[in-house]
Amino acid sequence: MKMIIDTDPGVDDALAIALACVMDEIKLIGLTTVFGNTYVEQSARNARYMLDMLKHKAPVAKGAAFALGRDSHDPSDYVHGPEGFGALTDIPQIGFDDPRSAAQFLVDAAAEHKGELVICPIGPLTNIALALELDPNFAANVKDVILMGGAYQHAGNITPHAEANIYNDAAAADAVFASDLNVTMVGLDATMQTLLTWDDFVQMGKDAPRVGGFIRDISDFYLRFYRSIGIEGGCAMHDSMAVLVAAFPERFTFENSGLQVILEGDELGRTCADPSRKKTRIAMGVDTSWAVPYVKSEIARLS
Ligand code: BDR
Ligand code: CA
């Protein structure tokens, strides 16, 4: 399947990008980047760095620096490190980004691969909302949007009610759920069911010293964050789960419901049912005995 990942790398984003590059089921045709875990300049640079490490030729198009209608943002440096890659800093800028904005890149790719393109947003949904604004045919041209974000029955992770990607641009997320796009939401209901341990990362480093070793090194900081909030069992591989849903939906269970996002007050960023809207497919469960071993076995195919 042809896929664009819209991303804010980000420790778990790095694993998802590596996974998408190695999986035979996926042809990655580009990365678009967004603010979120870090500033957009760093997320674009980190995306380029990952593709270079993976020897993948796909272009990177830099996107939104802020949420819709905002002119600043607070990066999640306490989760992903000062530059998005854990304790690692001064990641080099390699090569050039596509000159188009992420939204324009998405619009153009959707038109070029009409009915075939799967977009996998694993950061705030700003670029997707901007693409909807740019082109009235965008929703019809895209096959599926399979996003990591939201919490349907699960509690939030950035506030008691909201998941971080949705919270970071609630208006953009609401525009996506209100649109005609075919949306699958892979949120905390599913992503908190499979945790990766330090031993899993050590194994990735042994099996694929260059790429797996890099993922191990940046994940140390991320694991420490999980321990700091009382989660001892490991860290969630949130973003990889959206990639897995795209290729192996039969490994997941779903509910279907229209969704809206709460846009103000204490529950800002909460994703809740709205029967008046087009149904979103919501991942609720995953084959937990399969997901982690599968991801590790794919990473082991890298060098
Ligand atoms: C999501 O927020 C970010 O911190 C992660 O990269 C993931 O996309 C999890 O809530
Ligand atoms: Ca992310």
Question: In sequence order, what are the residues at sequence separation of 6 or more whose Cβ sits closer than 8 angstroms to the Cβ of residue 200?
Answer: 234, 292, 296
Question: In sequence order, what are the residues at sequence separation of 6 or more whose Cβ sits closer than 8 angstroms to the Cβ of residue 237?
Answer: 12, 15, 16, 191, 194, 195, 196, 291, 292, 295
DSSP letter for 252, please: E
Q: What is the band of 105 on the pLDDT scale with cuts at 50, 70, 90? A: very high
Ligand 1 neighbour 238 (Cβ under 6 A): yes
**What is the enclosing helix (H) or strand (E) of 280?**
strand 280-286
User: Residue 178 belongs to a domain with what CATH number?
Assistant: 3.90.245.10
Q: How many CA atoms lie within 13 A of 126 on its CB side?
A: 27
The three-state secondary structure class of 225 is helix
Q: Rounded mean pLDDT of 115-120?
A: 99
Find out whether 124 and 168 touch, Cβ atoms under 8 Å.
yes
Which of 88-102, 126-140, 220-234, 235-249 is predicted least confidently?
A: 88-102
Residue 12 CA: nearest ligand 1 atom is: 6
Ligand 1 neighbour 157 (Cβ under 6 A): yes
Q: Give me the interface pTM, i.e. the ipTM.
A: 0.99
Q: Rounded mean pLDDT of 40-68?
A: 97
pLDDT higher than 90, residue 199: yes
Active site (catalytic) residues: 8, 238
- Give 37 Cα–ligand 2 centroid separation in angstroms: 7
pLDDT higher than 90, residue 95: no
Q: Which domain holds residue 180?
A: 2-300
Which tens digit of pLDDT belongs to each residue from 222-272? 999 999 999 999 999 999 999 999 999 999 999 999 999 999 999 999 999
pLDDT higher than 90, residue 154: yes
DSSP letter for 295, please: H
Ligand 1 neighbour 46 (Cβ under 6 A): no
pLDDT higher than 90, residue 76: yes
Structure tokens at 162: 């909201």
pLDDT higher than 90, residue 115: yes
Ligand 1 neighbour 257 (Cβ under 6 A): no
Q: What is the pLDDT of residue 160?
A: 98
- Give 186 Cα–ligand 2 centroid separation in angstroms: 12
pTM, to two decimals:
0.98
pLDDT higher than 90, residue 193: yes
Q: What is the band of 97 on the pLDDT scale with cuts at 50, 70, 90? A: confident
Domain count, the chain: 1
Could you report how far apart the first and last alpha carbons of the chain are, in Å? 23
Q: In residues, how long is the chain?
A: 303
Q: Rounded mean pLDDT of 41-52?
A: 97
Q: Rounded mean pLDDT of 161-171?
A: 98
In angstroms, the CA 20 to CA 208 distance is 16
